[in-house]
Amino acid sequence: MRAIVMLCLLGVAVANDPYYSWNGPNGKESTDPATENVCLMDTASCGCCLMQKQMWRMETFFNMSLSQLQRDLERAEAALHNLRASRSAFSVALTDTRRCLGPFREATAIRYEVVFLNLGAGYNTSTGVFTAPRAGVYSLALTVYSDAGSPGATLAACARLRRNGSVLAAPSENNTQDQEDSTSVTMAVQLNAGDRVDVTLPAGCFLCDSSSHFNTFTGFLLYATD
């Protein structure tokens, strides 16, 4: 009999301990009707009954917490997957050997042969075109260079940075007083998914490069807007 009383007192103490209290939805305490009935019908087993009731409450609470953690983990994994899918960056150079390109009689698309980085495979080495994988703000940078060893009649370094065929920037230098011409442009541009960015060499202009990689074309996604 003494053991039963001790169990009952222990059960009451656990039931009254705020550390083990748990409220269900809408602020109402969750109970197990089966254990409630046992406590009302058999006072000799009330200690075990109340302990079982608190264990049921704790199990329900931890199951809900585990479900919430699982949902949070799924959202975090989805966000990480989206971040990885949005990575886009490329950096290319004209050539690895000493040679000049141009001058031509008409504007000609430039195909950069040396690829330093092509994260997301947005740059096509066959066409020289970068295709934006998703809408966002992109950083674009272009450097052009020519020297007096070119076959051109006059020294002129120039190029056209284009988006979908429209000129975004036209860096150029035509200085007959020195042996080298070079110029650069860097800009932030809003691109839509599928937009095509390329570089063309205008008629009469030429570029010269070597393994030093004086002519480069670079771009990367700053942040997505879709």
Q: 86-224 sits in which CATH class?
A: mainly beta
**Does the global pTM surpass 0.85?**
no
* Cβ atoms within 10 Å of 221's Cβ, excluding its own: 22
Over residues 179-224, the pLDDT tens digits come to 677 889 999 999 999 999 999 999 888 888 889 999 999 999 998 8
Over residues 139-178, the pLDDT tens digits come to 999 999 987 554 444 556 789 999 999 999 998 876 565 5
Rounded CA-CA distance 57/63 in Å is 10
**Which of 30, 205, 33 is CA-nearest to residue 107?**
205
Over residues 87-132, the pLDDT tens digits come to 899 999 999 988 888 888 899 999 999 999 999 999 999 999 999 9
pLDDT band, residue 45 (cuts 50/70/90):
low
Rounded CA-CA distance 47/94 in Å is 83
CB 37 within 8 Å of CB 52 = no
* Cβ atoms within 10 Å of 28's Cβ, excluding its own: 8
Strand duo 129-131 + 123-124: pairing? antiparallel
Average pLDDT on 33-62 reads: 66
The label of the residue with tokens 């409450």 reads 57
Q: What three-state secondary structure class fits 218? A: strand
